[in-house]
Amino acid sequence: MDETGTHRTVLLEEAVAALAVRQDGTYVDATFGRGGHARAILDRLGPGGRLIALDRDPDAIGAASGIGDGRFTARHARFGDLERTVRDAGVERVDGVLFDLGVSSPQIDRPERGFSFRFDAPLDMRMDTTRGETAADWIARASVAELKGVIRDYGEERFAGQIATAIAAARQRQPVRTTGELAGIVAAAVRTREVGQDPATRTFQALRIHVNQELAELSLALPQAVDLLAPHGRLAVISFHSLEDRIVKRFMRDEAHPQVPERLPLRAAELPKPRLRLVGKPVRPSAAEVAANPRARSAVLRVAERAA
Ligand SMILES: C[S@@+](CC[C@H](N)C(=O)[O-])C[C@H]1O[C@@H](n2cnc3c(N)ncnc32)[C@H](O)[C@@H]1O
């Protein structure tokens, strides 16, 4: 595979260990990418095991077709459609679901995907290139308030107001069509910057999350994963930024400790039953992994088990 086709899998051993793979189990890799986790799961499965992989990126599914293994099924789907996709593959219950969130290296490294300000290329940013609105199209039609809201909320960018105003002024002169144009507009609008970080980093993250509805997808998928899990089945999620991790952490906590509305007179037998049990502490990559793969720097793996 060429340099831009490879993905260095983050927390490979840790995530696969977290699934506690049983030889005859059925597992879901909700984010196939280039299959680093998927291959490690297949290595641990016996002849009766099964792995279903999803990805919304057609390039990832193209790469998955290279895995010639009767135990493996790949589907081009959003994980927001997890339950239907898995049931359509003829499976009702699974023993583990893995999410390795965010973008893959090939998505970032291929200029034509438009995710990176390191190249000047059309401003696309869609993980699923077969449908949906590109970042350029959204920027062309969004109001200044919408631009500001997305850049502030998904980029956690202090200068969201200045950047939104600058984008709106620039697009009056000519449409913002490329990554280079957008990076230039942001750099001119934002003077101070964290050391070692490009001024456009937060804006690009924000647009990517918005274009792909990443947080909404995650919120839709987590309860579906729990619905699919058999008793003692494992849910393992790797997040790469605090917005994702907050959703995962709260979801697992709420499922492990369901809240009772205050003053509701419930008897012990009527109390909501936890659907999940938290497994271990959050796992972060070793210093050696971060040194070898800087993308692992912000990763955190959370694991939970379906209650019996
Ligand atoms: C970090 S990569 C996964 C890498 C993979 N674990 C490996 O070892 O090669 C994340 C992948 O998830 C996919 N993805 C992100 N959000 C998705 C969603 N909502 N539905 C389906 N796939 C999604 C991306 O297209 C990308 O290929």
Q: Check residue 146 and report its DSSP letter.
A: H
Contact 157 CB / ligand 1 (< 6 Å): no
CA pair distance 166, 200, nearest whole angstrom = 13
Q: How far, in Å, are 18, 25, 52, 97, 165 from residue 93 at the CA level?
A: 18, 10, 12, 11, 50
What pLDDT score does 270 carry?
A: 83
Contact 127 CB / ligand 1 (< 6 Å): yes
Contact 37 CB / ligand 1 (< 6 Å): yes
CB neighbours of 70 closer than 8 A, spacing ≥ 6?
none
CB-CB contact of 74 with 61 (8 Å): yes
Above 90 in pLDDT, residue 2? no
CA pair distance 287, 135, nearest whole angstrom = 35
CB neighbours of 269 closer than 8 A, spacing ≥ 6?
none
The mean pLDDT value of the chain amounts to 95
CA pair distance 124, 122, nearest whole angstrom = 6
Contact 285 CB / ligand 1 (< 6 Å): no
CA pair distance 248, 222, nearest whole angstrom = 8
Contact 78 CB / ligand 1 (< 6 Å): yes
Contact 113 CB / ligand 1 (< 6 Å): no
Q: Taking the model in full, what pTM does it have?
A: 0.96
CA pair distance 87, 71, nearest whole angstrom = 16
Ligand 1 atom, smallest distance to 106 CA? 27
Q: What is the mean pLDDT of residues 30-50?
A: 98
What pLDDT score does 144 carry?
A: 98
Determine the distance separating the centroid of ligand 1 and the alpha carbon of 291, expressed in angstroms.
Answer: 23
CA pair distance 204, 251, nearest whole angstrom = 26
Q: Any bridge partners for residue 115, and if so which?
A: none
CB-CB contact of 228 with 82 (8 Å): yes
What pLDDT score does 90 carry?
A: 96
What pLDDT score does 88 carry?
A: 97
Burial class (CB in 10 A: 0-12, 13-18, 19+), 199: buried
Determine the distance separating the centroid of ligand 1 and the alpha carbon of 188, expressed in angstroms.
Answer: 33
Mutation choice for ligand 1 from 34, 85, 97, 127, CB with most ligand atoms inside 8 A: 127
Q: pLDDT tens digits, residue range 274-305?
A: 999 999 999 999 999 999 999 999 999 999 99
CB-CB contact of 44 with 23 (8 Å): yes
Q: Whose CA is nearest to atom 4 of ligand 1?
A: 33
Above 80 in pLDDT, residue 5? no
Contact 295 CB / ligand 1 (< 6 Å): no
Contact 75 CB / ligand 1 (< 6 Å): no
Q: pLDDT tens digits, residue range 131-179?
A: 999 999 999 999 999 999 999 999 999 999 999 999 999 999 999 999 9
CA pair distance 264, 262, nearest whole angstrom = 5
Q: pLDDT tens digits, residue range 230-272?
A: 999 999 999 999 999 999 999 999 999 998 877 778 888 888 8
What pLDDT score does 43 carry?
A: 98
Ligand 1 atom, smallest distance to 10 CA? 8
Phi first, then psi: give them for residue 88, nearest 5 degrees: -65, -25
Contact 155 CB / ligand 1 (< 6 Å): no
Contact 210 CB / ligand 1 (< 6 Å): no
Q: pLDDT tens digits, residue range 87-129?
A: 999 999 999 999 999 999 999 999 999 999 999 999 999 999 9
CB-CB contact of 298 with 243 (8 Å): no
Determine the distance separating the centroid of ligand 1 and the alpha carbon of 129, expressed in angstroms.
Answer: 14
CA pair distance 167, 112, nearest whole angstrom = 22
Above 50 in pLDDT, residue 1? no
